[in-house]
Amino acid sequence: MNPDTLNHWLDSCAAAPGMIGGGFRLSDGTCLVKNFNDRWSKEQLEMAVKLLAEGRGLYSNYGFDARWLTWTFAKGEIRVATRPDGLVLALAAEPDSLAAHDFNRLSEEFLAQDFAAG
Amino acid sequence: MDDERVFLEMVAELFSLWSKKTWQIHCVMSADQALEVLRTQKIDLVVVDVNMPVLDGLQLLRILNRRYPDIKKAVITALASEEKRADCLANGAELFIEKPRSADGLKSVFAMLNELIAWTPREGFHGVLRRVGLQDVIQMECLGRNSSVLEVHNTQVRGRIYIEDGRIVHAAVGNDTGEIAFQKLLALSSGEFHLQPFELPPQRTIDGQWEFLLMEAARVRDEVASNPPATAPDDELEKIISAPPEKEPPQILETLICSLQGATLYTANCPNFNSRVTLLRQITLQVEELDKALPLGDFERLELQLPDHHVIAQIKPDRMVFVRVAEEKVKNPKAGRK
């Protein structure tokens, strides 16, 4: 994975109004996280990204090989998508915001993106 | 209030334990004792048994409704009937519950009463079940296999939803009937609703599963909420609801509703009940972990998008819900964002 490409792609996600933050969990277990406003700290987001990445395997055990998961809470929506190469994306947005409405497009883009390229 | 001392003592002990002693519980065995407590104490919720000697629960309800209209009232009875239920709701009860026969059942009753105490009215809505939302009332009616008519109205529209033996069989508002009428009524942002005794509908226009109907109505309401109308609200709603269908409606493949302890409340086409309950419990644990990491507020749902279907899981204070739906075949191109 090219860190610059990952960073650049994550920055592009901030454009959608209502996006709170997001991050990647790489296949080696390290995380790259960004918060786009002060609502949640980077540390909080990193912990959430790790939890979500670790928890995603649960569903495969029950036969649900999900393309992505959407967690909806009163104060935020979180999208988690996983690529075959092990890269996990988590995006957090305000509930029912434009950013949350953009989750599908961003997830499709994430799944198709070549993050190895510079 | 109940004339069974053993039941009263057990309920008082368990409810006190489950409420972590935040509830102060007064047990009485007659209506006059109940009225004495109400005269001397500040009471938030009265729970009465209908079948009482001398002054029965229904008579007490009438008195309470007149003297204490703001106190929430619930009826719990071992001998439930449709007629009794309608009488109690018409006389001010917010909840009518069948007396549980197990600890799990009692815990569900506690959760419902707790919810009733804590509930703040949905924005703009009030009605016979003032503290509970319209969707919740429909869900309760369907889960309880009840028959009733919900009258819903605001300053612009008036409509009715007919529920027969737990199935939504007809809805009408203005010139619309069927699912469109049902969605319109549930998408109203303000108004009033009243639960009325069942009467036969003039026609039967709805035959879908109530779970799907509620989910579809929630989708329409979300669409309305997330697309603030430039035109009049009703015009926007009309546009969303009546957009020409492009595909077939989604099909519910599997439904499971169970208590937090895993007791079945409702299942349909659920091939592996235990596995689903275990999954729901693990989701509960994940929600708890996430809650420690981020201040996300109340958990609403988890959706899993699979190639040909999607799964929705909900963990409520008193129940867990698992629904598997065939890939969304939406009537409206705006839908399907999740």
Beta-carbon contacts below 8 Å between A and B: 82
Three-class secondary structure of residue B137 per DSSP: helix
Percentage of chain A exceeding pLDDT 70: 99
Q: Which two tokens stand for residue B285?
A: 């644990």
Mean pLDDT along residues B212-227: 74
Is the complex ipTM more than 0.90?
yes
Mean pLDDT along residues B95-109: 75
C-alpha distance from B110 to closest chain A C-alpha (Å) = 24
C-alpha distance from B130 to closest chain A C-alpha (Å) = 22
Looking at the complex, does the CB of residue B279 fall below 8 Å from at least one CB of chain A?
A: yes
C-alpha distance from B57 to closest chain A C-alpha (Å) = 38
Q: Which residues pair with B211 in a beta bridge?
A: none
Name the most confidently modeled range: B76-80, B148-152, B232-236.
Answer: B148-152
Provide the mean pLDDT of chain B.
78
**Is residue B231 scored above 50 in pLDDT?**
no
Mean pLDDT along residues B31-55: 84
Chain A positions touching B303 (Cβ under 8 A) are 69-70, 72
Three-class secondary structure of residue A60 per DSSP: helix
Mean pLDDT along residues B70-88: 80
Q: What is the pLDDT of residue B196?
A: 78
Per residue in B243-284, pLDDT (tens digit) is 444 455 567 788 888 888 888 777 778 888 889 999 999 999
Residue that wins the pLDDT comparison between B157 and B286: B286
Q: State the DSSP string of B149-190.
A: EEEEE-SS-EEEEEEETTEEEEEEETTEEHHHHHHHHHH-SS
Percentage of chain B exceeding pLDDT 90: 16
Q: What is the pLDDT of residue B276?
A: 92
Are B289 and A58 spatial neighbours (Cβ–Cβ below 8 Å)? no
Looking at the complex, does the CB of residue B222 fall below 8 Å from at least one CB of chain A?
A: yes
Q: Interior CA angle at B122 toward B304 and B207, to 5°?
A: 60
| Pure H helices in B3-55 | 5-18, 31-40
Mean pLDDT along residues A23-31: 91
> CB B338 to CB A104 under 8 A?
yes
- Separation of alpha carbons B295 and B285, rounded Å: 16
Mean pLDDT along residues B134-162: 80
Per residue in A61-92, pLDDT (tens digit) is 888 989 999 999 999 999 999 998 889 999 99
Q: What is the pLDDT of residue B130?
A: 36
Looking at the complex, does the CB of residue B293 fall below 8 Å from at least one CB of chain A?
A: yes
Chain A positions touching B311 (Cβ under 8 A) are 64, 66
> CB A69 to CB B304 under 8 A?
yes
Provide the mean pLDDT of chain A.
89
How does residue B128 score in pLDDT terms, banded at 50, 70 and 90?
Answer: very low
Mean pLDDT along residues B149-158: 82
Mean pLDDT along residues B30-48: 88
Looking at the complex, does the CB of residue B274 fall below 8 Å from at least one CB of chain A?
A: no
**Is residue A108 scored above 90 in pLDDT?**
yes
Q: Residue B119: CB partners within 8 Å, gap ≥ 6? A: B131, B132
Q: State the DSSP string of B217-285.
A: HHHHHHHHHHS--SS-HHHHHHHHHTSPP-SPPP-EEEEEEE-TT--EEEEES-S-HHHHHHHHHHHHH
> CB A55 to CB B311 under 8 A?
no
Best mutation target, B272, B282, B294, B321, to test chain A (most A CBs within 10 A): B294
Chain B positions touching A51 (Cβ under 8 A) are 286, 289-290, 293
Residues 67-86 of A with CB under 8 A from B: 67-76, 78
> CB A58 to CB B304 under 8 A?
no
Residue of A nearest to B279 (CA): A62
- Separation of alpha carbons A33 and A36, rounded Å: 10
Looking at the complex, does the CB of residue B337 fall below 8 Å from at least one CB of chain A?
A: yes
